[in-house]
Structure 1
Amino acid sequence: MTRPTTRPHGQVALVGRPNVGKSTLFNRLTGTRGAIVTAVAGTTRDVLGGAVEWQGRVFALVDTGGVVGASLDPMQDAVAERVGRAAATVDLLVFVVDGREGPVPADDEVAETLRRHGVPVVVAVNKTDDRRSRDRASEFHRFGFEPIVEIAAEHGLGIGDLLDEVVSRLPPAPGQAAAITAAHETDVPPTNETRIAVVGRPNVGKSSLVNRLLGEDRVMVSAVPGTTRDAVDEVIRWHHRELRVIDTAGMRRPGKVAQSGHVEAVSVVRARHAMEQADVSVLVIDASAGVTRRDAAIAGEAEAAGCGLVIAANKWDLVRGQGTFAKEFDLDVRETLKFADYAPIVHLSALTGERTARLFDRVDEVAEARRRQVPTGELNRMMETAVRQHAPSAQGKGSVKIKYAVQSGTAPPVFTLFTTRGERLHFSYERFLKNRLRGAFGFKGTPIRLKVRGR
């Protein structure tokens, strides 16, 4: 992150018990290594302060490391006193918790203190860099705070999503309120940028496709695999919408990357980060070569990142007219990418421009589906019908009943199921429910997350 050059407007405090990663998150957001960047008026001398810039907004950030939750004894008044002091001077609190450990009594004490002050709270579930910790993130819904954002401060995962939530909840900066009012008065719709990451193996035509979409030679194109090293992006307008198209380095097998050295390794990390920040990933596959296990692995990374997915079968000009090739190709893709059978497929040619316009149509549909919110009543009526047709089963022994369900998140859609046992449903039943959700409400091209809580 670049160092802000304008004056901060709005204050945000990081709160939480010790050892949940507040200082690491502070360093990640401010771009420092633990140094005191600036003195923050009205706070104790062991509170670190800095400035953060995001989407044109600059806000002051304070780290209450070593202050909030300094003692695990919930009877000590110091915790409540220090949180109260922070709550009285800031616009927003970021409640940092440990996703690996899950909720502990010290978190409950901090949460109880936060509830008494009425300051907006964003929950940052840190250390969610593996599947188990991501699954545990839903347990923090019990605190009653929204939104809940999964991050890994050490690796920079989810930081953009956290900053989006923070900035959207800060009071308007000077001049911003007038600009918002003027926009409403002139009936100009707000900017709605869709982030598109173009990913795939080396030399499948990613850069050629990006250049075709942008209408210029923005990215260097070469027959040598790995020409693109950095994730480069451009914003274009399409149907009164802004699309940020990000071209990424070709993602080879880990063994090949290790042999190529540090530069390519960093490029692959950036490509993965682009998927984590994207609304939709476009997976480019070389239709003339067919779908490969590496294509499936990249699709799996997109699914894990939670972004939408569209499959672009490139070089279609080389295979067009080969009888039943299109049908056989699509069947092969569905068989190889069983876990992502929700992703639409577009046959196109970056070289000739054939069907490239359709790609934006599919991306737009997927981005909309990823943000879709289902009314709770409609959701539970669908669940009742599904349960009558196919009773739920858990991973362990014994029966389980789904009491009710709510949509607890979007982008990607997250549904929390309240059950009699609170343990994860059998994977086959989860797949059944996801298919029913898609059939009832669409969700084309987007992964769906299911969380289970005891009731």
Structure 2
Amino acid sequence: MKPVIALVGRPNVGKSTLFNRLTKSRDAIVADFAGLTRDRHYGDGRLGDREFIVIDTGGFEPDSTTGIVKEMAKQTRQAVAEADAVIFVLDVRTGLAGQDMDIGRYLRQCNKRVFVAVNKAEGMSDSPLLAEFHELGMGEPHPVSAAHGQGIRSLLEAVLDSFDAPAGDDEDDEPAEGAGPDDERAIRLAVAGRPNVGKSTLINTWLGEERLVAFDMPGTTRDAISVDFERNGQKFKLIDTAGLRRKGKVFEAIEKFSVVKTLQAIADANVVLLLIDATQGVTDQDAHIAGYVLDSGRAVVVAINKWDAIDSYQRETIERQILTRLAFLRFAPILKISALKRQGLGPLWKALADAYSSAYRKMTTPVLTRLIQEAVQHQQPQRAGISRPKLRYAHQGGMNPPIVVIHGNALDGVSDVYKRYLEGRIRDHYKLVGTPLKIELRSSKNPFAES
């Protein structure tokens, strides 16, 4: 079993920077901004032949009783409960604060192995400033610099040596990148949408626990949080993304980072679940997000959340809005759900599975060629100038999205209408749902063109 290490501390002491250093990744957003991390963020790391799991947490205020800070504290307590050891991160520049004492008192009550990491201590291994951290009574403080990598190896050795594990022979100064679980067979499912449409609530409902901070305030999720999940033997990697607002509405620099992480998560996903708030209707921003998903070529399923919270008139309005504003997603299944009341989630899983299988459908060259030839016999392309395009044969050029490459002569004259006609024939035969289909036309060169 891999040991689990939780990073705990007050806001802005460098926990996310240390997380990125331990996992050799950039998965956690880092900025000089207090209260940035809110959810539990898991990552894999390695030191020599010893592997471990790291949990990044938000700024911890043990005595908080209201608002988003209370929800963040709940996430941190859960991370500590799951951990085999805790790295208590402090800031040497600001010294020992009263909040640090409160966190230390809480950690002592948890009866966990705690290691004190005094961050931002580059070149200060013998500084007298470290003396005050002995006041915590939690053993020798480890001076580290998460940003520069100083002291990280000795800290990790101290943590891992407390477990029964073989010693590593790796001579690197830093831990190597974590191997991570077998992601090859795991379906990467990104949940995207505007702020406050219920993305975190839906993932929490799937998991059966409050894994993500779900709060009635737009912009609660700031990072793209990945969670491993298994259903009916199929592994998933659920990715909760930050809500995407209109460009003119994004003011905070940190929110711009969140937008970038969300767009990256969509591009890296196998399937995207576009969540729409039924109480707000289908907005222009929903259409913009859908357009980005389409441009990225990812398979997509549309779910109208909070369907139980609207009346019959609003439902008819949304149906009309879907036909007009999301007409370009006519291949995507549209489902009505309630994440809070667990309604419609069974059909949603089936639609997601169908979209994934469609995105990775294998198409053989003989069958594709026969489909193209039958389509031409049924309806030939229009003439372009003096010649009529001739479609010879077709083969598959890629997956997610499926790409069909058609070879022939004078294919520059094939109209977009005819390409949509061919797309429809291919979709009907292979029963493709939830995935875009790209058709590429390649004309043979005329050997006599230059003679």
Q: Same fold (TM over 0.5)?
A: yes
Identify which of 197, 206, 211 aligns with 1:204. 197
Q: Unaligned stretches of 5+ in structure 2?
A: 1-23, 27-43, 49-181, 445-451
Please name the residue that 2:275 is paired with.
Answer: 284
1:333 and 1:275 map into 2 onto residues whose CA distance is 21
Q: Given that residues 228 and 248 in structure 1 are in contact (C-alpha distance below 8 angstroms), is that contact kept between their aligned partners in structure 2?
A: yes
Deviation at 1:234, TM superposition (A): 0.5
Identify which of 205, 220, 226 aligns with 1:227. 220
Identify which of 280, 288, 294 aligns with 2:285. 294
Instruction: State whether structure 2 residue 238 is matched by structure 1 residue 245.
Output: yes
Please name the residue that 1:10 is paired with.
Answer: none
**Percentage of identical aligned residues:** 34
Task: State the one-letter code of the partner of 1:225.
Answer: P
Please name the residue that 2:259 is paired with.
Answer: 268
Q: Given that residues 391 and 411 in structure 2 are in contact (C-alpha distance below 8 angstroms), is that contact kept between their aligned partners in structure 1?
A: no
Please name the residue that 2:61 is paired with.
Answer: none
Deviation at 1:412, TM superposition (A): 1.1
Please name the residue that 1:307 is paired with.
Answer: 298
Find the residue that maps to 1:378 and give its secondary structure. helix
Task: State the one-letter code of the partner of 2:401.
Answer: P
Q: Given that residues 403 and 438 in structure 2 are in contact (C-alpha distance below 8 angstroms), is that contact kept between their aligned partners in structure 1?
A: yes
Deviation at 1:425, TM superposition (A): 3.3
Deviation at 1:399, TM superposition (A): 2.7
2:263 and 2:386 map into 1 onto residues whose CA distance is 38
Please name the residue that 2:72 is paired with.
Answer: none
Alignment of 1:28-427 (within 5 A): 192-257=185-250, 260-319=251-310, 322=312, 326=315, 329-393=318-382, 399-423=388-412, 425-427=414-416
Find the residue that maps to 1:264 and give its secondary structure. helix
Deviation at 1:201, TM superposition (A): 0.7
Task: State the one-letter code of the partner of 1:379.
Answer: L
Find the residue that maps to 1:423 and give its secondary structure. helix
Deviation at 1:402, TM superposition (A): 1.0
Task: State the one-letter code of the partner of 1:244.
Answer: K
Find the residue that maps to 1:368 and give its secondary structure. helix
Task: State the one-letter code of the partner of 2:263.
Answer: R
Q: Given that residues 337 and 343 in structure 2 are in contact (C-alpha distance below 8 angstroms), is that contact kept between their aligned partners in structure 1?
A: yes
Deviation at 1:301, TM superposition (A): 0.7
2:383 and 2:341 map into 1 onto residues whose CA distance is 51
Deviations 1:388-419 (A, max 9, x none): 22222588885311111111111210000112
Judged with a 3 Å threshold, the aligned counterparts in structure 2 of structure 1 residues 379 and 358 are, in CA distance, closer, same or farther, namely same
Judged with a 3 Å threshold, the aligned counterparts in structure 2 of structure 1 residues 344 and 395 are, in CA distance, closer, same or farther, namely farther
Deviation at 1:382, TM superposition (A): 1.4
- Of 295-304 and 382-391, more deviation after overlay is shown by 382-391
Task: State the one-letter code of the partner of 1:254.
Answer: K
Please name the residue that 2:156 is paired with.
Answer: none
Find the residue that maps to 1:298 and give its secondary structure. helix
2:239 and 2:440 map into 1 onto residues whose CA distance is 31
Q: Given that residues 392 and 402 in structure 1 are in contact (C-alpha distance below 8 angstroms), is that contact kept between their aligned partners in structure 2?
A: no
Q: Given that residues 391 and 407 in structure 2 are in contact (C-alpha distance below 8 angstroms), is that contact kept between their aligned partners in structure 1?
A: yes
Task: State the one-letter code of the partner of 2:362.
Answer: Q
1:228 and 1:243 map into 2 onto residues whose CA distance is 20
Please name the residue that 1:447 is paired with.
Answer: 436
Task: State the one-letter code of the partner of 1:419.
Answer: G
Deviation at 1:435, TM superposition (A): 1.5
In the alignment of these two chains, the number of paired residues is 270
Q: Given that residues 330 and 345 in structure 1 are in contact (C-alpha distance below 8 angstroms), is that contact kept between their aligned partners in structure 2?
A: no
Find the residue that maps to 2:348 and give its secondary structure. helix
Q: Given that residues 229 and 249 in structure 1 are in contact (C-alpha distance below 8 angstroms), is that contact kept between their aligned partners in structure 2?
A: yes
Deviation at 1:319, TM superposition (A): 2.2
Q: Given that residues 394 and 423 in structure 1 are in contact (C-alpha distance below 8 angstroms), is that contact kept between their aligned partners in structure 2?
A: no
Q: Unaligned stretches of 5+ in structure 1?
A: 1-29, 33-53, 59-188
Task: State the one-letter code of the partner of 1:261.
Answer: E
Q: Given that residues 191 and 242 in structure 1 are in contact (C-alpha distance below 8 angstroms), is that contact kept between their aligned partners in structure 2?
A: no
- Of 236-245 and 288-297, more deviation after overlay is shown by 288-297
Find the residue that maps to 1:226 and give its secondary structure. coil
Deviation at 1:344, TM superposition (A): 0.5
Judged with a 3 Å threshold, the aligned counterparts in structure 2 of structure 1 residues 352 and 279 are, in CA distance, closer, same or farther, namely same
Deviation at 1:326, TM superposition (A): 4.9
Judged with a 3 Å threshold, the aligned counterparts in structure 2 of structure 1 residues 412 and 331 are, in CA distance, closer, same or farther, namely same
Deviation at 1:285, TM superposition (A): 0.4
Deviations 1:254-288 (A, max 9, x none): 1112xx13211111111111111111100000112
2:196 and 2:404 map into 1 onto residues whose CA distance is 38
TM-score of the superposition, structure 2-length normalised? 0.56
RMSD of aligned residue pairs (Cα, Å): 2.8
Deviations 1:306-352 (A, max 9, x none): 110000100011126x27x6565334313211211110011100111
Deviation at 1:442, TM superposition (A): 1.2
2:269 and 2:212 map into 1 onto residues whose CA distance is 19
RCO greater where, 1 or 2, for CA within 8 Å and sep 6 or more?
2
TM-score of the superposition, structure 1-length normalised? 0.55
